[in-house]
């Protein structure tokens, strides 16, 4: 009877998750950061005209697979479709572990609601680092939870859910390092299960194998230059205090706003090295209390839904494992504080840390709750929160400007003899055009590293949002201003 109930529960939530995923696919979901957009443009050929076999952040083997798929069937949106499917598989694997561990309906339901709430949110705001973290966490959950039920489980064997760990490694190689290290340390600190160390050997070997493959597939000089670009652009001193550099280092200030063209500045590599040294020297300002607070809240302050559901989950887990959960929370909070002077603590970093907490909380022994009323109340709050989040997102398209006006403007410029348009604007401005192939505009920044075409002789137009133009007018001083188009300033460069 219990098995039938478990299977029914699993089937219902699997189908509900599938339905939610299909519905979200047809809603105005969006990439959380433009890294995904640009990598999709590269592997699909929308940006350079040919599907690129290397997309910088994701493993070269995966980007090569994407480029082949787009070459064979360019009409299929392989890039976002893959992320959707990986998240759904991670959701199913997590769901199976919840059903395995939780014995009562209400405790099983509240865990599932937390899982479903994050699943929906990650689909609404697609981000490759988060996809990797969700996949790896689910794969690890399968290994570590299943080992409690199956004492004969062998560390050296590969299991079906390990495909999620492999997928996460291919999507973002830095993520498994953080999650593996976190699980190992928290096992040493709290769980103290010797079998867990052995069960992590296979995932670590997978990581080492594919990291080695990546090393041989990538041009090392290119990799070094791109890493340096990322280290400077994402330096916390620069992004959190960019106005401080406007007077003293104007070119660096322009760079912090994404105004850079690698193929047109042969001396940029040397500048990046000098800027890196300068920013590292200025890092001492990050060790103040106020600077730490700024670093911790800047990239999370608008994530109301995410913060709320995380806090509810923390309150729930602390209530049944008070001492252990507090130790884990103190450890993870300390890690964020220590990292804040060295890395931008963006929302994806918080989610990696939270998924580690979610995973460890799932592994720890769970007491049977006698306060069923509390569980029912918590479940009701989660259901209402998820429904409101889903409803509000269905209405979000009303706040996103239509891309048709921009598309007609781009067509008019092309008809007027403009060979290339560089668009400098917020993502919502071109939200409807991200799947165009070929892309009707270019952007500035790191993707031009892979652009081998000569563009110096092209007649170009720059469409720049008015806020960026007003604070970076000197950057465009050699260009001829034209009548503004909506919120964009039009500039012509010969």
Query: What is the per-residue pLDDT across 413-431, written as a single tens digit (0 to 9) for each?
Result: 888 888 888 998 888 888 8
Question: Sign (positive/negative) of CA torsion 162, 163, 164, 168?
Answer: positive
Query: Minimal CA–CA distance to 494: which of 482, 481, 483, 479?
Result: 479
Give the pLDDT of residue 152: 66
Q: What is the 3-state secondary structure (H, E, C) of the chain?
A: CHHHHHHHHHHHHHHHHHHHHHHHHCCCCEECCHHHHHHHHHHHCCCCCCCCCCCCCCCHHHHHHHHHHHHHCCCCCHHHHHHHHHHHHHHHHHHHHHHHHCCCHHHHHHHHHHHHHHHHHHHHEECHHHHHHHHHHHHHHHHHHHHHHCCCCCCCCCCCCHHHHHHHHHHCCHHHHHHHHHHHHHHHHHHCCHHHHHHCHHHHHHHHHHHHHHHHHCCHHHHHHHHHHHHHHCCHHHHHCHHHHCCCCHHHHHHHCCCCCHHHCCCHHHHHHHHHHHHHHHHHHHHCHHHHHHHHHCCCCCCHHHHHHHHHHHHHHHHHCHHHHHHHHHHHHHHHHHHCCCCCCCHHHHHHHHHHHHHHHHHCCCCCCCCHHHHHHHHHHHHHHHHHHHHHHHCHHHHCCCHHHHHHHHHHHHHCCCCEEEEECCHHHHHHHCCCCCCCCECCCHHHHHCCCCCCCCCEEEEEEHHHHHHCHHHHCCCEECCCECCEEEEEEC
Low-confidence ranges of the chain (pLDDT < 70): 1-4, 147-152, 263-266, 367-373, 396-398, 446-457, 483-487, 492-494
**Segment 113-170, tens digit of pLDDT:** 999 999 999 999 999 999 999 999 999 999 988 766 666 677 777 888 899 999 999 9
């Amino acid at each position: 009877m219990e098995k039938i109930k478990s299977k029914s529960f699993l089937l219902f939530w699997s189908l509900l998750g599938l339905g939610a995923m299909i519905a979200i696919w047809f809603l105005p979901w969006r990439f959380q950061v433009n890294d995904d957009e640009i990598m999709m443009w590269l592997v699909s050929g929308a940006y350079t005209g040919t599907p690129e076999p290397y997309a910088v952040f994701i493993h070269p083997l995966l980007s090569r697979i994407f480029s082949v798929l787009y070459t064979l069937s360019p009409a299929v949106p392989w890039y976002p479709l893959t992320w959707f499917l990986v998240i759904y598989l991670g959701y199913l694997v997590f769901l199976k572990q919840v059903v395995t561990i939780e014995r009562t309906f209400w405790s099983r339901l509240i865990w599932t609601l937390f899982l479903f709430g994050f699943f929906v949110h990650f689909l609404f705001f697609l981000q490759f680092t988060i996809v990797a973290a969700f996949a790896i966490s689910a794969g690890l959950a399968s290994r570590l939870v299943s080992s409690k039920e199956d004492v004969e489980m062998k560390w050296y064997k590969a299991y079906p859910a390990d495909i999620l760990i492999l997928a996460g490694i291919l999507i973002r190689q830095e993520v498994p390092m953080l999650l593996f290290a976190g699980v190992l340390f928290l096992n040493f600190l709290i769980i103290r299960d010797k079998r867990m160390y052995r069960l992590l050997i296979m995932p670590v070997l997978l990581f080492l194998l594919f990291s080695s493959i990546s090393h041989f597939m990538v041009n090392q000089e290119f990799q070094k230059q791109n890493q340096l670009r990322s280290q400077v652009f994402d330096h916390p001193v620069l992004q959190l205090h960019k106005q401080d550099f406007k007077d003293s280092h104007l070119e660096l200030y322009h760079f912090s706003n994404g105004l850079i063209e690698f193929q047109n500045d042969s001396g940029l590599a040397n500048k990046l090295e000098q800027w890196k040294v300068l920013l590292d020297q200025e890092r001492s300002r990050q060790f103040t209390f106020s600077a730490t607070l700024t670093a911790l809240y800047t990239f999370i302050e608008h994530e109301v839904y995410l913060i709320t559901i995380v806090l509810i989950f923390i309150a729930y887990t602390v209530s049944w494992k008070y001492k252990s959960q507090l130790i884990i929370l103190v450890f993870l909070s300390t890690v964020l504080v220590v990292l804040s002077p060295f890395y931008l603590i963006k929302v994806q970093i918080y989610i990696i840390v939270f998924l580690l907490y979610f995973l460890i909380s799932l592994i720890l022994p769970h007491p049977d709750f006698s306060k069923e009323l509390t569980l029912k109340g918590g479940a009701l709050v989660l259901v209402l929160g998820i429904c409101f989040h889903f409803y509000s997102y269905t209405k979000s398209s009303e706040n996103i400007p239509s891309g048709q006006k921009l598309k007609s403007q781009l067509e008019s410029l092309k008809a007027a003899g403009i060979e290339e348009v560089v668009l400098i604007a917020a993502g919502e401005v071109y939200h409807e055009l991200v799947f165009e192939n070929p892309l009707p505009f270019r952007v500035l920044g790191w993707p031009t590293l892979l652009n081998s075409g000569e563009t110096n002789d092209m007649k170009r137009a720059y469409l720049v949002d008015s806020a960026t133009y007003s604070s970076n007018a000197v950057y465009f001083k050699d260009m001829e201003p034209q009548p503004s188009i909506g919120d964009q300033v039009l500039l012509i460069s010969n």
